[in-house]
């Protein structure tokens, strides 16, 4: 139990990297930024899955935000399979509001229309990504998945999180650990 408690206090701000053996097709080769993790469960955003059904300007139009300067390129991503119609902006800490959740010393999460307006007006955060939906785990579920070799974790960095090359994020995250993906085993860590 002490291991799970230490996991819970250290995962926000970390990246979860799906092991090659991940059976759930929704998470195959996914990289997830962990926003919250406690005894009550965990929440994170996939940062490498495009949501091609809508563009940022299209989303703004649907939400009634008519002004869009268009200078900020914001790609809409699939944050996870839970509540795919709900939007979240993961961003640098230069934009913190009362409604923002400070994740770590570098990043925060805001889920209000105000941040979308700020981004559209070019007065939002320096770096951001917009995700529709999120990945969620019940109490102890993520800890169990990690112990069963479903996920690796590594410290997040802004360049990886906010990088535009979504196709290479999984390989970039694995390389941060210094592991060759071909050497990964379903049984790693078990004796």
Confidence class of residue 191 from pLDDT cuts 50, 70 and 90? Answer: very low
In a domain, 189, yes or no: no
In a domain, 147, yes or no: yes
Identify the pLDDT of residue 71. 63
Mean pLDDT of 25-51: 95
Cα atoms in the 13 Å half-sphere on the side-chain side of 17: 23
pLDDT 10s digits, 97-116: 999 999 999 999 999 999 99
In a domain, 64, yes or no: yes
pLDDT 10s digits, 76-89: 999 999 999 899 99
In a domain, 191, yes or no: no
pLDDT 10s digits, 144-179: 999 999 999 999 999 999 999 999 999 999 999 988
- Residue 137 near residue 24 (C-beta atoms within 8 A): no
Calculate the CA dihedral of residues 15, 130, 96, 127 and round it to 10 degrees: 80
Identify the pLDDT of residue 4. 39
Asked whether residue 15 carries a pLDDT value surpassing 50, the answer given is yes
Number of domains in the chain: 1
Asked whether residue 63 carries a pLDDT value surpassing 90, the answer given is no
Query: Worst-scoring range by mean pLDDT, 35-39, 43-47, 103-107, 185-189?
Result: 185-189
Identify the pLDDT of residue 115. 94
Asked whether residue 6 carries a pLDDT value surpassing 60, the answer given is no
Mean pLDDT of 178-191: 60
Which residues make Cβ contacts (< 8 Å) with residue 30, sequence separation at least 6? 16, 18, 22, 46, 48, 49, 135, 170
In a domain, 86, yes or no: yes
pTM of the shown model: 0.88
* Of 89, 88, 84, nearest in space to 53 by CA: 84
Mean pLDDT of 185-189: 50
In a domain, 188, yes or no: no
Confidence class of residue 2 from pLDDT cuts 50, 70 and 90? Answer: very low
* Of 97, 116, 114, 90, nearest in space to 35 by CA: 90
Q: Where residue 96 sits, what CATH number does that domain have?
A: 3.40.1740.10
Asked whether residue 7 carries a pLDDT value surpassing 60, the answer given is no
Give the residue numbers spanning the domain of 110: 2-183
CA angle 100, 67, 109 (to 5 degrees): 15
| HEC secondary structure over the chain | CHHHHHHHHHCCCEEEEECCCCCCHHHCCCEEEEEEEECCEEEEEECCCECCCCCHHHHHHHCCCCCCCCCCCCCEEECCCEEEEEEEEEEECCCCCCCCEECCCCEEEECCHHHHHHHHCCCCCCCEEEEEEEEEECCCHHHHHHHCCCEEEEECCHHHHHCCCHHHHHHHHHHHHCCCHHHCCCCCCCC
Identify the pLDDT of residue 52. 87
Mean pLDDT of 39-59: 93
In a domain, 190, yes or no: no
């Amino acid at each position: 139990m002490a291991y799970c408690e230490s996991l819970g206090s250290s995962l926000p701000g970390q990246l979860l990297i799906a092991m090659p053996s991940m059976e759930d097709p929704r998470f195959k080769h996914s990289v997830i930024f962990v926003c919250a993790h406690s005894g009550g469960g965990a929440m994170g955003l996939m940062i490498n899955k495009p949501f091609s059904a809508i563009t940022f300007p299209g989303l703004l139009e649907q939400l009634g935000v008519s002004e869009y300067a268009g200078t900020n390129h914001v790609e809409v991503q699939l944050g996870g399979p839970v509540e795919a119609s709900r939007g979240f902006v993961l961003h640098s800490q230069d934009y913190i509001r009362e409604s923002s959740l400070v994740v770590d010393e570098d990043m925060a999460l805001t889920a209000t229309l105000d941040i979308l307006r700020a981004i559209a007006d070019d007065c939002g955060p320096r770096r951001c990504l917009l995700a529709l939906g999120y990945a969620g785990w019940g109490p102890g579920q993520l800890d169990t998945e990690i112990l069963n070799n479903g996920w690796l974790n590594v410290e997040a960095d802004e360049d990886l999180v906010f990088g535009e090359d979504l196709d290479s994020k999984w390989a970039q995250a694995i390389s941060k650990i210094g592991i060759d993906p071909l050497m990964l085993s379903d049984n790693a860590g078990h004796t």
